[in-house]
Chains A and B, each alone.
Chain A
Amino acid sequence: MKYALFSIGLLLFTGATQAASVNDYYKVENIAAPKGLDPQIGGLTFLPDGRLAACFHRGEVYTYEPKTKTWTLFADGLHEPLGIMAEDNHTLVVMQRPELTRLRDTDRDGTADHYETLSDRFGMTGNYHEFAFGPTRDKSGNYYVGLNLASSGASIRPEIRGEFRHYGITREQFYKNHRDGSGRMYSATPFRGWILKIAPDGKTTPFAPGFRSPNGVNFDSAGRLWVTDNQGDWLGTSKLFHVKEGNFYGHPASLVWTGQWEVGRNPLKVPPAEFDAQRHRAAVLFPQGSMANSPTQMLTDTTGGKFGPFSGQLLVGEMNRPRILRVLVDEVAGQTQGACLPFIDGGGLHRGMHRFAFAPDGSLWTGSTHLSWAGGSGLQRVTWTGKTPMELASMKITERGFDLTFTHPLGNVEATQFEFQRYYYKYHQSYGSPQLGKEAIDVTALEMGKNGKTVSLALDKLNPGYVYQLTLKNVTAKDKTPTLNTFVCYTLNTLTNGDDKAPHLVAASSGGGSTAKPVKAKPVKLTTSPQELDAAFAGRQGPTFDNRNGGFSGKGYADFVGKSGEHLEWIVTAHESATYQLAFRYALAGGNRPLALKVNGKVIQKSLPFNDTGDWTSWKDLITDAALQKGENQIRLESIGASGPNVDRLTLKRR
């Protein structure tokens, strides 16, 4: 209570200098979508005449005239369009699941009448995860698109488009039990996991392999092609790649479609060190859980100052939080790397920040989506208030450490106000990676630049292959305005002398599988009946904790990774011995994945039948009984050869 009063006082008396709300600098406004439309936005672009064009989840393309706030249907019937570009006021190019399509309004009635297939020269297995992203365009008019891998969350369909090729399992095995060898994400038809280049005449060239879920495909104003990718197998965390023709970017499933790949060789059986030697590392890593979980589109601020002080910088969207990030690019010894930090964080933004476009007036239009994962929907407009926030404007590596430049002259700062940590993400077949080799890094020297905006820091250790995470502690401008965003992650691939060796990123013995560290259960006292115990309370060895498939309760669910020998366990304290009803809430898209149930080390059910719930977002309870003893009890689910479902929670009810 005392503290609350104190902080109100602080607000009243020091209001002016303490302003550090994002809305002091950027206003966020909701734009109403047509009534009855599912406003999940797949793509946004501005036409030369100042109208906005947007494509939506159910296949519609609308134009929007900001002056009159009028929506007009331009096209419909598209298959999950996830990107749009304007060629002129009457011509739009859309990437939809099956193809890149040019929508032409030839009779100028405001509606497309010619849907011209620019390219469908790639395969589709019908797997839901084979999203298609883009397009972006180079100066010669070539389009670039990104093709997702398929997910082992589902198999392939009886009829596919394009050649079938998989060196792990046969097509028949795909229909029997694809999980037994498909790989977590797979490329069973051309050119899943690739960026494709499509010439104006439709000529289609595979451009670069190694992607998992390349949602954002875009050129910056300097002509660099950037692609975002999502944490998962082979991606310890989400990434932003600077992409060049012919390079390999790390997820090996797509390599079977290169001309050089040896026929019959299964990428899942190749040691990661071999791929590590060939791959090009990401320019920027987005630490999972703190920076971004699902990065989306990259867009350069091309407003020339109309959108604030970050002209020329890269903006990147994020699905799981109401957040747009900034990327500070650093060219080092001919390599591109850099830092990322939150830019607009909250302030009324939707979640699911999927697509962006700058209007001629310099306002940023954002489109959200979710596709049943974490995210949002709808259109928003972000405008700069004209006031420059106190922010980190650039971060450049030096021989000794980093030069940080801010938007305003700094107040007095000391070395301890720049708190550095470093860690790395392992490159391996498993899903994600913990932050490894984590340690605090001391700032050994600090020097202010002549302009008062730049501070040079020397660091105790500076090595390639680490994320350097910086937290600014009460760093303010000269007028005491605090820094708005204080959490920064710099991806150090290359030192100024060109050294980029990072052998620690791939352990010699790693071939995937469940080598993850065990997580301890948080013991829970039974106080009510029924009592719900979220998966977050459970201990686990093997399963990961995830929140990407919606509909779960609490913070997320446990996701079994390997086939057997993994477990999930709750520790509960009962005040007397009694029989309890155990209800396990779970989701399973297909098949049966029985688990063994053990209570206090004793097998209660050899094979608890977790049958499919139809979808990863459909949750059901599986109910059984067990006797609990007075005092502490261990309730454990163990995988017994068929992996396991996603487990959301355990509900205990006295019988």
Chain B
Amino acid sequence: MCGLLNSKMRSLALAFLTIALSLSAAPLKLTLSTVPGLQFDKPRFTAEPGQAIELTFKNPDDMAHNLVFTQPGQRMAVVQATIALPPDPERIIKHPAILTQTLTLKPNASAVLKFTAPKAKGIYPYVCTLPGHGLLMYGAMYVGEAMPDLAKDEHVPPMARAKGANSNLHAWSHRRPLMYRIFMPDASPAAIAVALPHGVSYCWDAGNCRLRYAWIGGFVDPMPVWRANGNGLAKIIGNKFWTATETAPLQVGRALQKVEFKGYRKIKGHPEFHYTLNGLDVYEHITALPDGTGIIRHFRIPKIVSPLRVTPGHGEIDAEMSNGVAVLSPDQAKTFTITHRHQHGK
């Protein structure tokens, strides 16, 4: 009985809604915010053809972003056209496929965009065109079109689709930092995946005690491993921005470099990996750069007495480099960092 009433009330409400929309009287007011990790908080929204829109764009992220609406299917064309432009926060981008745009917003800035939804039905992309962002940071305005399941929507970023598919992986809601020991691509079977704050993630390999790669965007889709008996690999959601070279990152002495994994301690949820390198205890603790543009690897080798050769492999280290190698004195080697930056992060 109760259910019947509810469904009647629902259809009444729907009828009113239809009338309201067909008059196109009410403007659409909405807020769109950035989320660390090159995402918008809303991967998509709907508007009626010709509807007036008042959109508040907020940027609580640690880096600058803009918001550009384009004609259907023109997101990548606009992104490609702007990629070569030198950064200029005041520039208005000139491109025939752009519907409307904001200026570049600094962290914690906001702007209001007033425009009218196109009269032609269609799926209109919105995107941040700052260098490197356009591949991941986008969404879709559905004008007079029905939305498919989020999990199957090709107009939203992969990480938004994955959220639609796996909204409930655990008894707790998604959090960062988060780590899974799970089968990963391009690593040994003893791989570890870690999601850091600010949308940065990395794969550390307990099979050979090395950081293997790091990516920006979402975390992983673990379901190819979890949905059955483990005959699959977790899928990375996002874009790799750093991959280790073949060379061992740390070397002591001349003997064969033998590593052994010892486990990890959790420091505010972040693992500090512990392994031995030719019997010497090494600790590696990885955090996200505060502005979300990369990772810092904090090393500790408390008992080192001989020089350490470090091959950071496209990483920054506070030491003199020669042929891609830095030789640290035992004192320097007791604590040092290597930073890997997302090349388009600034």
Are A77 and B178 interface neighbours, CB within 8 A?
Answer: yes
Given A37-B171, A58-B222, A161-B207, do A617 and B265 touch, yes or no (CB 8 Å)?
no
Given A34-B171, A98-B190, A160-B188, do A115 and B264 touch, yes or no (CB 8 Å)?
yes
Q: DSSP majority for the B interface?
A: loop
Whether A120 is near chain B, meaning CB under 8 Å from some CB there, is yes
Given A124-B189, A160-B189, do A153 and B170 touch, yes or no (CB 8 Å)?
no
CB distance from A5 to the nearest CB of B (A): 40
Q: Point out which of A38, A60, A126, A617 has the most chain B C-beta atoms below 10 A from its C-beta.
A: A126
Give the residues in chain B near A265, CB-CB below 8 Å.
Answer: none
Are B181 and A35 interface neighbours, CB within 8 A?
Answer: no
Give the residues in chain B near A326, CB-CB below 8 Å.
Answer: none
Are A159 and B226 interface neighbours, CB within 8 A?
Answer: no
Chain B stretch 111-144: residues in CB contact (< 8 A) with chain A: none
Chain B stretch 20-61: residues in CB contact (< 8 A) with chain A: none
Are A125 and B228 interface neighbours, CB within 8 A?
Answer: no
Given A59-B180, A124-B207, do A80 and B230 touch, yes or no (CB 8 Å)?
yes
Give the residues in chain A near B170, CB-CB below 8 Å.
Answer: 36-37, 58, 60, 76
Whether B94 is near chain A, meaning CB under 8 Å from some CB there, is no
CB distance from B41 to the nearest CB of A (A): 22
The count of chain B contact residues (Cβ–Cβ below 8 Å) is 34
Chain A stretch 27-49: residues in CB contact (< 8 A) with chain B: 33-38
Are B168 and A36 interface neighbours, CB within 8 A?
Answer: yes
Whether B314 is near chain A, meaning CB under 8 Å from some CB there, is no
CB distance from A287 to the nearest CB of B (A): 25
CA–CA, A73 and B175, complex, Å: 14
Q: Point out which of A35, A98, A154 has the most chain B C-beta atoms below 10 A from its C-beta.
A: A98
Are A161 and B180 interface neighbours, CB within 8 A?
Answer: no
CB distance from A375 to the nearest CB of B (A): 11
Whether A400 is near chain B, meaning CB under 8 Å from some CB there, is no
CA–CA, A98 and B192, complex, Å: 11
Are A372 and B189 interface neighbours, CB within 8 A?
Answer: no
Chain B stretch 249-302: residues in CB contact (< 8 A) with chain A: 261-266, 271
The count of chain A contact residues (Cβ–Cβ below 8 Å) is 50
CB distance from A331 to the nearest CB of B (A): 37
Are A116 and B187 interface neighbours, CB within 8 A?
Answer: no
Are B181 and A77 interface neighbours, CB within 8 A?
Answer: yes
CB distance from A59 to the nearest CB of B (A): 6
Are B190 and A120 interface neighbours, CB within 8 A?
Answer: yes
Given A120-B206, A128-B229, do A113 and B266 touch, yes or no (CB 8 Å)?
yes
Q: Which residue of A lies closest to B177 (CB)?
A: A77
Q: Point out which of A34, A153, A154, A159 has the most chain B C-beta atoms below 10 A from its C-beta.
A: A159
Q: Which residue of B lies closest to A157 (CB)?
A: B189
Q: Point out which of B186, B192, B226 has the most chain A C-beta atoms below 10 A from its C-beta.
A: B226
CB distance from B169 to the nearest CB of A (A): 7
Contact of B181 among A34, A79, A128 (CB under 8 A): A79
CA–CA, A166 and B325, complex, Å: 38
Q: Point out which of B188, B206, B229 has the most chain A C-beta atoms below 10 A from its C-beta.
A: B229
CA–CA, A79 and B189, complex, Å: 10
Are B182 and A79 interface neighbours, CB within 8 A?
Answer: yes
CB distance from A177 to the nearest CB of B (A): 17
CA–CA, A131 and B231, complex, Å: 11
Give the residues in chain A near B189, CB-CB below 8 Å.
Answer: 97-98, 124-126, 130, 157, 159-161
Given A36-B171, A126-B189, A160-B189, do A117 and B262 touch, yes or no (CB 8 Å)?
yes
CB distance from B183 to the nearest CB of A (A): 6
Whether A589 is near chain B, meaning CB under 8 Å from some CB there, is yes
Give the residues in chain B near A102, CB-CB below 8 Å.
Answer: 263
Whether B179 is near chain A, meaning CB under 8 Å from some CB there, is yes
Whether A478 is near chain B, meaning CB under 8 Å from some CB there, is no
Whether B227 is near chain A, meaning CB under 8 Å from some CB there, is yes
Give the residues in chain B near A116, CB-CB below 8 Å.
Answer: 262-263
Chain A stretch 369-394: residues in CB contact (< 8 A) with chain B: 371-373
Are A117 and B226 interface neighbours, CB within 8 A?
Answer: no
Q: Which residue of A lies closest to B206 (CB)?
A: A98
CB distance from B246 to the nearest CB of A (A): 12
Whether A99 is near chain B, meaning CB under 8 Å from some CB there, is yes
CA–CA, A192 and B271, complex, Å: 29
Are A38 and B180 interface neighbours, CB within 8 A?
Answer: no
Given A159-B207, A160-B189, A161-B207, do A615 and B263 touch, yes or no (CB 8 Å)?
no
Give the residues in chain A near B180, CB-CB below 8 Å.
Answer: 59, 77, 79
CA–CA, A160 and B181, complex, Å: 15
Are A161 and B190 interface neighbours, CB within 8 A?
Answer: yes
Given A58-B169, A120-B190, do A615 and B264 touch, yes or no (CB 8 Å)?
no
Chain A stretch 1-51: residues in CB contact (< 8 A) with chain B: 33-38
Are B231 and A98 interface neighbours, CB within 8 A?
Answer: no
Are B188 and A617 interface neighbours, CB within 8 A?
Answer: no
Whether A198 is near chain B, meaning CB under 8 Å from some CB there, is no
Q: Which residue of A lies closest to B190 (CB)?
A: A98
CA–CA, A36 and B172, complex, Å: 7
Give the residues in chain B near A615, CB-CB below 8 Å.
Answer: 228, 231
Contact of B228 among A114, A157, A617 (CB under 8 A): A617
Give the residues in chain A near B171, CB-CB below 8 Å.
Answer: 33-37, 60, 71, 73
Chain A stretch 130-156: residues in CB contact (< 8 A) with chain B: 130-131, 153-154
CA–CA, A125 and B183, complex, Å: 11
Q: Which residue of B lies closest to A128 (CB)?
A: B231
Give the residues in chain A near B168, CB-CB below 8 Å.
Answer: 36
Q: Which residue of B lies closest to A114 (CB)?
A: B265
Chain A stretch 555-609: residues in CB contact (< 8 A) with chain B: 589
Whether A251 is near chain B, meaning CB under 8 Å from some CB there, is no
Chain B stretch 181-213: residues in CB contact (< 8 A) with chain A: 181-183, 186-190, 192, 206-207
Chain A stretch 75-132: residues in CB contact (< 8 A) with chain B: 76-80, 96-99, 101-102, 112-117, 120, 124-126, 128-131
Whether A239 is near chain B, meaning CB under 8 Å from some CB there, is no
CA–CA, A653 and B265, complex, Å: 62
Give the residues in chain B near A76, CB-CB below 8 Å.
Answer: 170, 179
Whether A57 is near chain B, meaning CB under 8 Å from some CB there, is yes
Give the residues in chain B near A157, CB-CB below 8 Å.
Answer: 183, 189
Are B230 and A159 interface neighbours, CB within 8 A?
Answer: no
Are A372 and B263 interface neighbours, CB within 8 A?
Answer: no
Give B contacts to A, CB under 8 Å.
168-172, 178-183, 186-190, 192, 206-207, 222, 226-232, 261-266, 271
Q: What 7 A-B pairs are tightest by C-beta distance, nearest first?
A: A79-B181, A128-B231, A34-B171, A126-B189, A372-B228, A98-B190, A124-B189
Give A contacts to B, CB under 8 Å.
33-38, 57-60, 71, 73, 76-80, 96-99, 101-102, 112-117, 120, 124-126, 128-131, 153-154, 157, 159-161, 371-373, 589, 615-617
Name 10 interchain pairs, CB-CB below 8 A, sorted by A.
A37-B171, A79-B182, A98-B207, A101-B263, A102-B263, A114-B266, A124-B207, A126-B183, A126-B188, A157-B183
* Beyond known contacts A126-B183, A371-B228, A372-B229: 7 more, CB 8 A cutoff: A59-B182, A76-B179, A97-B230, A116-B262, A128-B230, A128-B231, A129-B229
